[in-house]
Structure 1
Amino acid sequence: MPISPDAAETLALKALSWLVANEELLPLFLGSTGASGADLRARAAETEFLSSVLDFLMLDDAWVVAFCDANAVPYELPLQARAMLPGGGEVHWT
């Protein structure tokens, strides 16, 4: 059953909270996105920003596993959530 857009945003907010609490990954996220600490607070309600959080999380399977384990969610849920946020549709290269 597909995840709803509201549930996708909620999961992305959980991922953002998880990232903020992770002292190793937060600097990587900030550096790769160009976001600042102030941006995290100011843009947390923007679906485009939440999309970038899930995009970053899914760069490494170990990060996905750690996030999902910490939040007791299925491993495939971040990908499903990302598909429901802006720019998350399937890309067909052919």
Structure 2
Amino acid sequence: MPVSPDHAETIALQALGWLAGNDELAPVFLGSTGAAAEELRERATDPAFLASVLEFLTMDDAWVVAFCDAAGLGYEMPLRARYALPGAGQVHWT
């Protein structure tokens, strides 16, 4: 079952909130995206930025499990949500 873009954005916003509240991962996330903590609220309306939140989160299975457990989501949802946001079709594995 595909995830709608609106539902994907909701999941990404949940993930952003979870990351922002995680003292260990927040600085890593900010460093990897180049965003400043002050910018998060403004950038949270950008679907491409929300996609980067999900891309970051899905880099580590332990992060996915921790987030999904906290949010009450199935473990597949962050990746399914990522595919519903801009840029997913541009992923090349070679």
Residue matched to 1:40: 40
Q: Secondary structure at the match of 1:89?
A: helix
Residue matched to 1:71: 71
Q: Which runs of 5+ in 2 are unaligned?
A: none
Q: CA deviation at 1:91?
A: 4.2
Amino acid at match of 1:18: W
CA RMSD of the aligned region, Å?
Answer: 1.5
Q: CA deviation at 1:89?
A: 2.6
Structure 2 CA distance for partners of 1:92 and 1:57, relative to 1, 3 Å: closer
TM-score by length of 2: 0.93
Aligned equivalents of 2:22, 2:39: Cα separation in 1:
17
Q: Which runs of 5+ in 1 are unaligned?
A: none
Amino acid at match of 2:89: G
Identity %: 65
- Deviating 4+ runs (over 3 angstroms): 90-94
